Amino acid sequence: MLIPGLQCDRRVWQLQTAFLEARGHDVIIPDGHFEADTINAMAEIVAGQLPQRVHVAGWSMGGYILCRLLATHPDRIARAALIATSAQPENARRTVERRAAMMSARRLGMDVAYRASLEACCYRPENVPAALMNDLVHMGVDLGIDTFFSQQNAIIARPDGRPALAAFEGPVTIICGEQDTVTPPEFSREMHEIAKGSRLQMIPEAGHNAPVERPDAVNAALRDWLDSGPAGSDVTRAATAS
């Protein structure tokens, strides 16, 4: 299962879905939770789509949902991958930034504001193919401004995910772009310290949108996450883009 982030649906995972399906994996991308007004409520909707036992990855807001699932349904999750996210509750700096993003969307419209946000979340947005960037902008517009506001408010009020992450017994991989300014690497390092036997995979030349900017590196990390046994508490760094 791949859980999307803020203002995202299955389209945001298209590069990972194609890769994993080509390797013979069945890929589930949850839906129906987009308009829920809390992270806890989103997690309960997603929980209804969990198979009996499943590997779950969450990107950004999807990581907040995954941390909640680790608290409520740990027996259903075989292993977890946390991508460009944090287990911490909200902090004051990010709340100010979120409020500004909401006002920008209201003032400029979702198409302009969301494109600007996507580009700002990339280390080098010019490396993302124009057709893919346009598809992601359409995704944000399709979900609508009311969903954007609702999800931002849910993120601001999210619970602390660190106790559940510390208690989880399965293998954990943490993936972070080295140039992520939205959830900077210190948040991933903290999760790596909290999660027993976790693996931390750093992606150079990538920001918050590493799965879009550096899909080959992220896909390789997901391949290793699915193929390996318990990780053993190591830190690795992907090769730089050629």
C-alpha–C-alpha distance, residues 116 and 133, integer Å: 11
Q: Assess whether pLDDT exceeds 80 at residue 122.
A: yes
pLDDT tens, residue by residue, 158-195: 999 999 999 999 999 999 999 999 999 999 999 999 99
Nearest to 140 by CA among 121, 124, 158, 117: 117
Model confidence pLDDT, tens digit, residues 31-56? 999 999 999 999 999 999 999 999 99
Q: What is the pTM of this model?
A: 0.95
Mean pLDDT score of the chain: 95
- Entry field: residues in the chain: 242
DSSP SS3 for 98: helix
Quote the CA–CA distance of 81 and 221 in Å, as a whole number. 9
Nearest-CA neighbor of 57 among 18, 15, 16?
16
Q: Which amino acid, 61?
A: M
H or E element, residue 77 = strand 77-83
Residue 232 pLDDT greater than 50, yes or no: no
User: What confidence score (pLDDT) does residue 231 get?
Assistant: 43
What is the identity of the amino acid at 198? S
pLDDT at 241: 65
Domain-wise residue ranges, the chain: 2-91+154-237
> What value does the mean pLDDT take over residues 127-148?
97
pLDDT at 22: 98
Task: Give me the CATH code for the 2-91+154-237 domain, please.
Answer: 3.40.50.1820
Short-list 203, 187, 186, 202, CA closest to 234:
202
Structure tokens at 35: 């308009």
Average of per-residue pLDDT across 78-93: 97
Q: What is the pLDDT of residue 83?
A: 98
pLDDT the model gives residue 229: 60
How much is the average pLDDT of 93-115?
96
pLDDT of residue 211: 98
